[in-house]
Structure 1
Amino acid sequence: MDAGDIGARRWLILTVGVLAQAAQATVVNGVAFLIPSLHTEAGLSLAQAGTLAGAPLFGGVFTLVVWGAISDRFGERLALAAGLGLASAATAAAALTTSIPALGILLVLAGAGAVSANAASGRVVVGWFAPAQRGLAMGIRQMSVPLGVAAGALVIPQLATNHGIAWALAFPALACGTAALACVLGILDPPRPDRAEAKSTGMLGSPYRNSWTLARIHAASILLVVPQYVVWTYSLVWLITDRGWDETGAGLLITVAQVLAALGRVAAGSWSDRVGSRLWPLRIVAVSVVVSMAALAVSSLFDSPVAIVILLVASVLTSAPNGLAFTAVAEIAGPYWGGRALGIQNTGQFVAAAAVGPAFGALIAAVGFPIAFAIAAMAPAAAAPVVPQVPVDPKK
């Protein structure tokens, strides 16, 4: 079966990919919503709680390229099912432990498995969708992360407050287990040229060898992930500790912010299809992130009620670059390097994201939220000129 024969089934495969990526987000990003409970109930400092929240990201750093290589060699279905199954088992074990060091180790292991969705589900989208639809399809796929974060924001703080940290961790364990089963039943590996044909056309060769384009996209994405994870990791804490919101209201607002962010990723992907480039919109979005984070810093400094609206805007804009960059990387890398290239892409992002938790936790404790938001704006300012100027034509 090829991309022309699969018809409407590609949308079902995309739906399963969205579920897989959303489940991954409940582990990799959702643990951040335990920070208030870890801080107030477990007695951890904000920096220590932020470090635990970054543990799944840290685990993913070591396995992203491995899962990409597995999907390149053995197929996306196997990588997705195995990784999410591992994440479910590790998170369930984390829910049962009473040891903080063991909790950290199990969260690292959970993240190491969950990130299989990052490389493999992206290759599924590029493999089954025509070039003129890839931006939209990848935007839909990428909306799964904010949706997973939104689900985590809605459920995890409530479970942690009312029933404890163990019950809160049961939610991502269940989500990953369900997604693993769905991948076994619903994912179909996309077609690609056989290895002999690919070798004769140079498709097996490294796309990094003669061009800096992929490396520049990776570098820009690393910088752009900093404000995204500052907002994702500490907006709930900011609302509760700095703005005086209760956990229910704060969780609902974060849920709304993440739903809007998900829709923003779809809009950005569709925009890239219309203009025939992933990189030109990526540069514009990077500049808009600078403006939104600077505005959030100023409005927070003056305790303005407009800060809440700006937080919603910043949530959308800081999330928007991911789908654009992912689509560009997958298109440039091709069917035999796409998994590894997406793994490399995510590895850099995860290293930066894992550092955001402890680094900005300590920074916020030292200088407060407004200054921390302003410092976060410096990263996208540096990213904008790094985005390659050579457009990627998705019709080629």
Structure 2
Amino acid sequence: MRAEKSTSGGGPTERAWRYRWVILGVATFTQAACGFFMQGIGAMGVHLQRDLSLSTTQLGLLLSASQLVPLIGLLVAGELLDRYDERWVVGIGAVVIAVSLGVGSATPGYVSLLLVLLVVGAGYSTIQPGGSKSVASWFDTSQRGLAMGIRQAGVPLGGVLSAAVLPALAAAAGWPVTLAAGGLVAFLGAVLFIGFSRRPPARRLPSREGAPRPGTRLGMLREPSMRRAVLSGMALVSVHSGLGVLTVVHLHEAASVEAGHAALVFVAVQAAGVAGRVGLAAWSDRSSSGRYTCVLACMVAVVVGAVALMTPLGHSPVAASLLFVWLGFFGIGWYGPWVAYLAEAAPPGKTGFAIGLAMAVNQSAIILAPPALGLLKDLTGAFATPWAALAVCTAAALAVTGREGRGPAARPRS
């Protein structure tokens, strides 16, 4: 993928390939900016429950609302990304997020917030696969895991910033103001991506003539590598969703942590996720047994953490906080090596659709997990039930995908 260096050490082609670090920075910022408001909903959980009189189930529905449209939108985005320049596909999606949040700030209320998040989800459908494809096309396999990890760190990075800013902003000015702030941040991400995104040297867009219809591509799900990616992704993304809806509430109710301090722990959880996405992805670049080994390790760590939260440790402020940071590192950090594995397993010329397809299947877990986990807690009155459900589902995915194999491991070390 990368061009060879010229004898002068700085030829035009090599200088062009150095631009990949600009692409990585812009893609990471756009990811963080577009997920800024959505990642902050969990941190604002106590404020939203108080101001809107919400149950834990209703709070979970807010997290699911922005993920409903991507169930189909990711497939559409993947097809568009294989046909058109990701610069415009991602840029327009970010503008949709910005405009919808701006409009939503003028119409406060639970129902209107749900509707706004549905539209936000339509725009967000382009951000994940578009940024991933852009980074994958600029970096060769020897650096792709690290690059993908840095880029995917944009999600928890946005969570760190939003968890630190949005609860204080909601307390001072009201939660509708947080929508306007989220819209402004997303618009900045759109401007930067459109302004700086470029295609790699000598890369041509795939011809649209004779391109297979989406329906003919669904057969990718029968491939062992795609099946492993989907099963592990559904389990681990449920854990990520569970952390978003349960962390602050668990600490506040079960461990008697003051709401403000619980929000700070959530910041630490997201920061651990940033470190995990970079560190685990860098490990996958050097793992002789393949990238999927890193994903398997994350599933083991998540099961251990979820089970520990069901013991008396989950009621200790210090121990529970440390366990949530552990879960943040592995339960959020898994995405870096996972998406690099997925990009390399995709058939040639179908990277955008393969990423979009796997992410679209994952959406079923993203949509169902928050309200289901909230409902389990509401029905039983205990946090042990949702953590047990996550541990069992992750252990099942670990058993199935670990038995099937670890997938392609050999990668050039250029």
| TM-score with structure 2 setting the length | 0.88
Work out the CA distance in 1 between the residues paired with 2:204 and 2:18. 22
Q: Which residue in the other structure is 1:178 paired with?
A: 188
Q: 1:126 to 1:149 in 2, by over 3 A?
A: same
Q: Which residue in the other structure is 2:321 paired with?
A: 308
Give, in angstroms, the shift of residue 146 of structure 1.
Answer: 0.7
Q: Which residue in the other structure is 2:310 paired with?
A: 297
Q: Which residue in the other structure is 1:377 paired with?
A: 391
Question: In 2, are the aligned partners of 1:24 and 1:115 still within 8 Å (CA)?
Answer: no
Give, in angstroms, the shift of residue 22 of structure 1.
Answer: 0.9
Work out the CA distance in 1 between the residues paired with 2:131 and 2:326. 27
Question: In 1, are the aligned partners of 2:2 and 2:17 still within 8 Å (CA)?
Answer: no
Aligned with 1:273 (options 268, 272, 285): 285
1:231 matched to 2:243? The reply is yes
Aligned with 1:85 (options 95, 118, 136): 95
- Give 3-state SS (helix, strand or coil) of 1:189's partner: coil
Give, in angstroms, the shift of residue 386 of structure 1.
Answer: 3.3
Give, in angstroms, the shift of residue 345 of structure 1.
Answer: 1.6
Q: 1:232 to 1:210 in 2, by over 3 A?
A: closer
Give, in angstroms, the shift of residue 235 of structure 1.
Answer: 0.4
Aligned with 1:21 (options 22, 31, 36): 31
Q: Which residue in the other structure is 2:346 paired with?
A: 333
Instruction: Report which stretch shifted further, 236-245 or 273-282.
Output: 236-245
1:356 matched to 2:369? The reply is yes
Give, in angstroms, the shift of residue 297 of structure 1.
Answer: 2.0
- Give 3-state SS (helix, strand or coil) of 2:223's partner: coil
Question: In 1, are the aligned partners of 2:52 and 2:110 still within 8 Å (CA)?
Answer: no
Instruction: Report which stretch shifted further, 33-42 or 125-134.
Output: 33-42
1:40 matched to 2:50? The reply is yes
**Cα deviation 1:51-101 (Å, max 9, x = unaligned):** 123211123223111112111110110111000000010111111113432
- Give 3-state SS (helix, strand or coil) of 2:53's partner: coil
Q: Which residue in the other structure is 1:132 paired with?
A: 142
Q: 1:260 to 1:49 in 2, by over 3 A?
A: closer
Which structure 2 residues correspond to residues 48-59 of structure 1 after superposition, within 5 A? Answer: 48-59=58-69
Work out the CA distance in 1 between the residues paired with 2:273 and 2:163. 14
Give, in angstroms, the shift of residue 392 of structure 1.
Answer: 3.5
Segments of structure 1 that go 5 or more residues without pairing to the other structure are 200-204
Work out the CA distance in 2 between the residues paired with 1:248 and 1:50. 20
- Give 3-state SS (helix, strand or coil) of 2:311's partner: helix
Work out the CA distance in 2 between the residues paired with 1:100 and 1:3. 52
Work out the CA distance in 1 between the residues paired with 2:312 and 2:196. 46
Work out the CA distance in 2 between the residues paired with 1:117 and 1:99. 27
Give, in angstroms, the shift of residue 3 of structure 1.
Answer: 5.5
Give, in angstroms, the shift of residue 331 of structure 1.
Answer: 1.2
RMSD: 2.5
Aligned with 2:263 (options 226, 243, 251): 251
Give, in angstroms, the shift of residue 366 of structure 1.
Answer: 2.4
1:264 matched to 2:281? The reply is no
Work out the CA distance in 2 between the residues paired with 1:170 and 1:376. 34
1:213 matched to 2:225? The reply is yes
Number of residue pairs aligned between Structure 1 and Structure 2: 392
**Cα deviation 1:245-264 (Å, max 9, x = unaligned):** 33332222211221121111
Question: Could you tell me the percent identity over the aligned residues?
Answer: 27
| TM-score with structure 1 setting the length | 0.92
Which AA in structure 1 matches 2:388?
Answer: A
- Give 3-state SS (helix, strand or coil) of 1:33's partner: coil
